[in-house]
Structure formats: structure tokens, C-alpha cells
Chain A
Amino acid sequence: MGIRGRYMRPATIPYNGEKHGSKSLERLASQVFQQVGVKIGGNVFTELYRVNPADLHKPDLLHNIYLGLFKHMIECVEGFLEKHKWQLAFDDAWKEIPPYPGFSLPKRAYCEVTSWQGKEMRNLGRYISAVLACALRNPDRSQHQDFNIALKCVGSLVDFSLITQYRSPTPDTLAYMERYLQTFHQRKDIFLEFWTSKSTGVEVNRQGRELRRLMANQMAQEAHHISAAQPRRQAD
């Protein structure tokens, strides 16, 4: 039940003038607000006529995909390559990207790129899947499964981003998007250790932990935005 429902139903707010003072009501309200993530400041769109603030958020390619999911994806991929000591193969594959019409080649080696803007991220989406597949082509027996899952995860995210660029969606392309997003969600656990420090088993410094926690939250948030924007079928 949402915050509105909770306030509209007096039974859920056990306010009694004698038993509960204004302070306890204030505390209760702040708990309710905290639960649903609302801060004290208020929403700048609330008092606009005929506007529902919750409808104003529209997922867009630049913020949600390129600077959102892709940004976290490459950070996770970096962590993954580092763990398996596979960065060199990735750098080599990156340098070997051949030219192709309508395709802008990266001007610098992967490790030399310092600023990832929307344009760089969009270009990265065009070749990250191929470069990663090329870099991870000769895994050990122990790495085989992990590499396959990582490739599937990155591939499905890239596929999703490519389908989102279709100008006119059809039921088929929407079904593809849904399927790719589902595959991404099913496989994303392979990168979990690079999002949070829970399962790494390796002692990392506090700053690193904090960064990964923030990253995980942000990534989950962006993924949630995209899921929310998908047309939903009736739940089974």
C-alpha cells in the first residue's frame, strides 16, 4: 500500500490525541516517509495542475542506457577482467577493431579513455559484445562457464539497447526487448561481486566498498526504470 493509502486509512495511523502526542505522530510520519524514500523537501512538481509527478520521469537512451547501465556495465566488466587477469586480451582485442562503414573506431586504447560521455558509450555499445567475445575466446576449463554467462549478460544488455533505438516498435520488437531484459536480469549475478563486497571474500578498502555499493544501487535503479517503462503483461 502506498503512502497515500496509509494516510487515507485512519486505522493504519494509530493516532490518538491522548495516547500519542504530536511528536510520536511526527516520528511515525517520518518512518513512513523513510520507508518509501520520500525526503523532507517535497516535490517541485506536486502542485502543478493536471500533472502527475510520477508520470514525468521518462527513461531515455542517454541517461538510462548510455550513462546509466552501460557505465556500470563497463565497470563490472573491468572488475571481471581484472579478477580473471584477462585485461591484456581485452586491450588487444580493442585495438584490433576493424573499420566498417558507419562505424566510428575508438581513437584510443581502452585504458587510455578517461572520459566516457554519451557518444563514447553509444559507440562502445556497438563493439563491446564483439570485443569481449574475442577477448574471452580461450578460457580455462574453470573459467568457461563464467565467461559464457558474462558474455550472455553483456550481450543481452547490448541487444536491448540496440532494439530500443528502433523508431517504431512492433509487438515483436517489444517482445525481444522484454526477453533481452529478462536474460540480463537472470545473468547479472555473475557481476554481483563487482557491485557489492558481500560475496568477494576479499578485503577491500572502505572507499572501494562504498563505491561498489553506490554502483549497485544506481544500476539496480536504472534497470528498474527500464523495467517499469516496459509494457507489462498480466502477472501469471
Chain B
Amino acid sequence: MPILLLALLPVPPKLTDNSGRADEALRKTNADALLAVFDLVLAPLQEVVQEGTVKDCADGKTRLCFAILSAWIADHAGHAALHGIGSKSCPKCEVPSKELSGNPRKIYEARDYTL
């Protein structure tokens, strides 16, 4: 499996524990920095998603391909950071933390926030 290093994610500075407001500001800065890095990394992909790119196909023809991000393999802590959710939240749905060990069959609202 070929692996290509695209970027190194910033390691945020530790919270100071001095004041709530300073920590809140630092959290916001950390989140913005992460967002900025991902914008940069995923920008080339966006062109391909919109316009498509011509690729050789296994049947010898060339085809217009659209590379769409469809999966992100990470552990829960990784997903929580990238999705901007709390550690007790689900990246897929809005299950409240109190109901996490409840009925496994219950279906909750999906996190679809596109307007």
C-alpha cells in the first residue's frame, strides 16, 4: 500500500488552566489551525470532485473520474477532533451521552448539518 505524506498536523499547545476565557480562546485557535491545515490538504481534491479528471481504466479506455472522500479511518479520539465533537459524542448521529449504553437499536438523528 503506497503511503504519501501530505502534511504534519499541528500539535496544539497545552491548556494553561489559568482562566476559562484564555483556555476557550486557545481551544478556538487550535480548532481553527486544524481546520486551516485540512483546508490546505483537501483543496486539490476539491477540484477533482468538481471537474473530474481523466484516468486510465482497467478495460483500456479512459474515463472521467471523480474522487470523492468516502471514508476516514481513525480511532474515536481522532474522529472527535476532526468532527469537532465532544469525546462522548458519536460522529454519525446525535445520541446523547446519557443514552450511549442504552438501547442499541434506537435510531438517532444523523449529523447532517448541510444547509
Which residues of A are interface residues toward B (Cβ below 8 A)? 1-5, 35-58, 60, 63, 67-68, 181-182, 185, 188, 216-225, 227-228, 232, 235
Chain B contact surface mostly: loop
* Contact call B35/A41, Cβ cutoff below 8 A: yes
CA distance A43 to B49 in the complex (A): 19
| Of A38, A188, A218, A232, the contact of B84 (CB 8 Å cutoff) | A38
For A189, the closest partner residue in chain B by CB is B101
CA distance A37 to B92 in the complex (A): 11
Segment at the A interface, from B13-21, B26-34, B55-63: B26-34
Contact flag A54-B85 (CB < 8 Å), given A44-B38, A48-B69, A224-B90: no
* Contact call A63/B82, Cβ cutoff below 8 A: no
| CB of A236, distance to nearest CB on chain B (Å) | 9
* Contact call B70/A40, Cβ cutoff below 8 A: no
Which residues of B are interface residues toward A (Cβ below 8 A)? 24, 27-28, 30-32, 34-35, 38-39, 42, 45-46, 49-50, 66, 68-76, 79, 82-97, 100-101, 104-105, 107, 109-115
| CB of A188, distance to nearest CB on chain B (Å) | 8
Contact flag A56-B91 (CB < 8 Å), given A39-B86, A68-B75, A235-B107: yes
CA distance A38 to B76 in the complex (A): 15
| Of A40, A47, A185, the contact of B104 (CB 8 Å cutoff) | A185
* Contact call A63/B74, Cβ cutoff below 8 A: yes
| Of B24, B34, B87, B109, the contact of A217 (CB 8 Å cutoff) | B87
Determine the chain A residues whose CB is within 8 A of the CB of B110 once the complex forms. 2, 54
Contact flag A227-B27 (CB < 8 Å), given A52-B114, A56-B91: no
* Contact call B69/A221, Cβ cutoff below 8 A: no
| CB of A201, distance to nearest CB on chain B (Å) | 20
For B42, the closest partner residue in chain A by CB is A48
Pairs A–B under 8 Å by Cβ, sample size 13:
A36-B96, A38-B86, A41-B27, A44-B42, A48-B42, A48-B49, A53-B91, A53-B113, A58-B72, A217-B87, A223-B100, A225-B76, A225-B92
* Contact call B104/A45, Cβ cutoff below 8 A: no
| CB of B48, distance to nearest CB on chain A (Å) | 10
For B109, the closest partner residue in chain A by CB is A2
* Contact call B83/A49, Cβ cutoff below 8 A: no
| Of A44, A50, A60, A222, the contact of B68 (CB 8 Å cutoff) | A50
For A39, the closest partner residue in chain B by CB is B84
* Contact call B86/A44, Cβ cutoff below 8 A: no
Determine the chain B residues whose CB is within 8 A of the CB of A54 once the complex forms. 91-93, 110-112
Contact flag A58-B84 (CB < 8 Å), given A4-B113, A221-B90: no
* Contact call B69/A51, Cβ cutoff below 8 A: yes
CA distance A54 to B50 in the complex (A): 20
Determine the chain A residues whose CB is within 8 A of the CB of B93 once the complex forms. 54, 228
CA distance A67 to B78 in the complex (A): 13
